[in-house]
Amino acid sequence: MEIKRVMVIGAGQMGGGIAQVCAQAGFDVILNDISEAAFEKGLGVITKNLSRGVDKGRMTEEEKNAVLGRIRKSTDLSDAKEADLIIEAAVEKMEIKQSIFRQLDEHAREHAILSTNTSALPITEIAAVTKRPGQVIGMHFMNPVPVMKLVEIIRGLATTDETYQAVEDMTRKLSKTPVEVNDYPGFVSNRVLMPMINEAIYTLYEGVASKEAIDDVMKLGMNHPMGPLQLADFIGLDTCLYIMEVLHEGFGDPKYRPCPLLRKYVNAGWLGKKSGRGFYVYE
């Protein structure tokens, strides 16, 4: 199946980034959010990103305007009837995603593929609320989307080979590298990354070393570009906690138990860079 028009659900950091790379690759994009204000905010970030590319000589002003011209506003999920591929990038809550997918299944054309950008939730469970589970798949983009090359493509239990191939081909057109992953909690990226971050938080919690020392060990000794505690702040501590809870519930293994210090910070509203304070303080 040839994908020509893409609908992205959610104009936030991830959804806006996905819409941008799709439009840059030449796809017509319907960018959907619940309000015009949310759409305009997302479009503003996309415009800023593209303008930075113009300033650095990576594209011309005409190319920037052409990309923006391929992005169209939507505040109604019934616009899914115009898309060949829908990429949902809403909040990481199963009940919200299932509600969206029920509506998309009702409105989307018979051949359309429904995908989710979830970072941890089971694709099979999301697909189960639709009448087309074979056409439901995970497309886990990395943040920031315009920069990071990886897309984890996650097959649900019923995902067909045709669906997978269409999404893999489209991912390559975005100049991204698709990696096939099966449907287990956290997939590969967060199943490996989040327990490492959680263990770093335990190391701080138990007084083994200071936050700066823990981050320096991983940066200077393991060649990580960013220490795990700083990275947790950038991801969002609430997101880290949520993914650890998904892993803990999904596998029932105590090794995935979220560190009490992580839970304490989230309960205090210390969510990392976005709230101004996490393991570090941000001005």
- Residue positions annotated with a catalytic role: 119, 140, 152, 190
Among left, alpha and beta (phi > 0; psi -120 to 50; other), residue 186 is: left
Do the annotations mark residue 11 as ligand-binding?
A: yes
What's the first-to-final CA gap in the chain, in angstroms? Answer: 48
Closest to 70 (Cα-Cα) out of 150, 139, 8 = 8
Flag whether 48 is marked binding: no
* Three-state secondary-structure class, residue 197: helix
Angle between helix axes 237-251 and 228-235 (nearest 10 degrees) is 100
Q: Determine whether the annotation assigns residue 14 to a binding site.
A: yes
Block residue for tokens 């990392």: 272
* 57 known ligand binder: no
119 marked among binding-site residues: yes
| Helical H segments across the chain, by residue range | 13-24, 36-55, 61-69, 94-107, 123-127, 161-173, 189-205, 211-216, 222, 228-235, 237-251, 260-267
What is d(CA 239, CA 152) in angstroms, rounded to the nearest whole number? 18
Q: Is 173 annotated as a binding residue?
A: no
97 is in an annotated binding site: yes
Does the annotation place 12 within a ligand binding site? yes
Q: How many CB atoms lie within 10 A of CB 241?
A: 22
- Is 103 part of any known ligand binding site? no
Question: Who contacts 39 (Cβ-Cβ below 8 Å, separation ≥6)?
Answer: 11, 31, 32, 33, 73, 74, 75
Confirm whether residue 64 is marked as ligand binding.
Answer: no
Give the torsion through C-alpha atoms of 217, 222, 223, 228, to 10 deg. -60
- 207 marked among binding-site residues: no
Binding residues: 10-15, 33, 92, 97, 119, 143, 274
What residues form the annotated binding site for NAD(+)?
Answer: 10-15, 33, 92, 97, 119, 143, 274
